[in-house]
Amino acid sequence: MEERLRKQRPDVWFLTEFVEPWLPVRDIGNLRRVNQRSQQSPLPAELPVTDRTRHRRLRDQGSLARTDLEAILDAGFVCHLGVVVEGHPMVVPTVYGHDGTDLFLHGSVASRSLAADPDAAVCVTVTHVDGLILARSVFEHGVNYRSAMIHGVPRQVTDPEEKLRGLRLLTEHAAPGQWDYARRPSRKELAATTLLALSLAEASVKTAIGPPDDGAGPDAELGIWAGNLPLRTTWGAPEADPLLPAGIDPPPHIAGREAAPL
Ligand SMILES: Cc1ncc(COP(=O)(O)O)c(CN)c1O
């Protein structure tokens, strides 16, 4: 395999030297992203309450369980990176991966949001909308959701081995099985990619679930329908690139996701 790669792609074969299977290759039967993590996070099981993570309102919706944070991270792959660039706030949607200890974010070396002041704090959020809470009164309307906010100063990953490991986590988080299927980054592509690691030490978690709050109040007598309108996100059928030659089918780790929930 290595010999073939060395001949076909002299620019990437070297990666096989250090692209070790740190993480077990997952099969389509088990998409739980948590399986990527070979060990338990060394971070405390209880999230710390800091000035940045303390909930001000609806405190019962908060959770201090690190397992809840991980479940929210496992359930999505797009986050919003909030960062101040040259005095201006920017909130950038971007994909992520994580290993229970760090969140990994990547982008072009030309990306301003990833090249901000190395000492500057950022805030990353991940949000899943689970439904709309329709109450009798407009005031009591709301959203059922699961969300996480992570605070910290990210670290630029420069060590090529760690960079590859982070990119693998990120790729496998969005598309389990794809790291071993697609061509891996070349030395040049790696150099063109910025990878940030943000510690998962300081984070807050909030979730809302259930019916509206005004079922037992005076508005209950209005005769207005109230309840939860659930929202579900599922994968569709793979759509082949129009430039794809005939005879190349989507691999099972892609085709098998059709109709599966996010
Ligand atoms: C994860 C998370 N952390 C913090 C907050 C802020 O909460 P509060 O307004 O109670 O401080 C929110 C708001 N929805 C949140 O979703």
- Where does the pLDDT of residue 79 fall: very low under 50, low under 70, confident under 90, or very high at 90 and above? very high
For residues 114-129, average pLDDT: 91
pLDDT surpasses 90 at 179: yes
pLDDT surpasses 80 at 20: no
47 CA → ligand 1 middle, Å: 14
Largest CA distance in the chain: 77
Ligand 1 atom with the smallest distance to the CA of 58 is 10
**Ligand 1 — pocket residues by CB below 6 A?**
55-58, 147-149, 204-206
Q: Is 30 left (phi over 0), alpha (psi -120 to 50) or beta?
A: beta
Structure confidence at residue 240 (pLDDT): 98
170 CA → ligand 1 middle, Å: 25
56 CA → ligand 1 middle, Å: 8
Percent residues over pLDDT 90 in the chain: 77
User: pLDDT, tens digit, for every residue of 146-158?
Assistant: 999 999 999 999 9
Of 58 and 127, more confident: 127
User: pLDDT, tens digit, for every residue of 22-68?
Assistant: 333 322 223 334 444 545 789 999 999 999 999 988 888 999 999 99
- Where does the pLDDT of residue 2 fall: very low under 50, low under 70, confident under 90, or very high at 90 and above? very low
Structure confidence at residue 22 (pLDDT): 32
Q: Whose CA is nearest to atom 15 of ligand 1?
A: 206
Q: Distance between CA atoms of 48 and 146, rounded to whole angstroms?
A: 19
Ligand 1 atom with the smallest distance to the CA of 145 is 16
For residues 105-130, average pLDDT: 90
User: pLDDT, tens digit, for every residue of 182-225?
Assistant: 999 999 999 999 999 999 999 999 999 999 999 999 999 999 99
64 CA → ligand 1 middle, Å: 13
For residues 244-248, average pLDDT: 97
Compute the CA torsion angle 55, 60, 64, 69 (nearest 10 deg): -90
pLDDT surpasses 90 at 15: no
206 CA → ligand 1 middle, Å: 6
Structure confidence at residue 47 (pLDDT): 97
* All domains of the chain in start order, with CATH: 2-231 (2.30.110.10)
Percent residues over pLDDT 70 in the chain: 85
Structure confidence at residue 37 (pLDDT): 54
pLDDT surpasses 60 at 246: yes
Average model confidence (pLDDT) across the chain:
87
Residue with token string 């496992």: 74
SS (H, E, C) the chain: CHHHHHHHCCCCCCHHHHCCCCCCCCCCCCCCHHHHCCCCCCCCCECCCCCCCCCCCCHHHEECEHHHHHHHHHCCCEEEEEEEECCEEEEEEEEEEECCCEEEEEEECCCCCCCCCCCCCEEEEEEEEEEEEECCCHHHCEEEEEEEEEEECCEECCCHHHHHHHHHHHHHHHCCCCCCCCCCCCHHHHHCEEEEEEECCEEEEEEECCCCCCCCCHHHHHCCCCEEEECCCECCCCCCCCCCCCCCCCCHHHHCCCCCEC
Give the ipTM: 0.91
pLDDT surpasses 90 at 90: yes
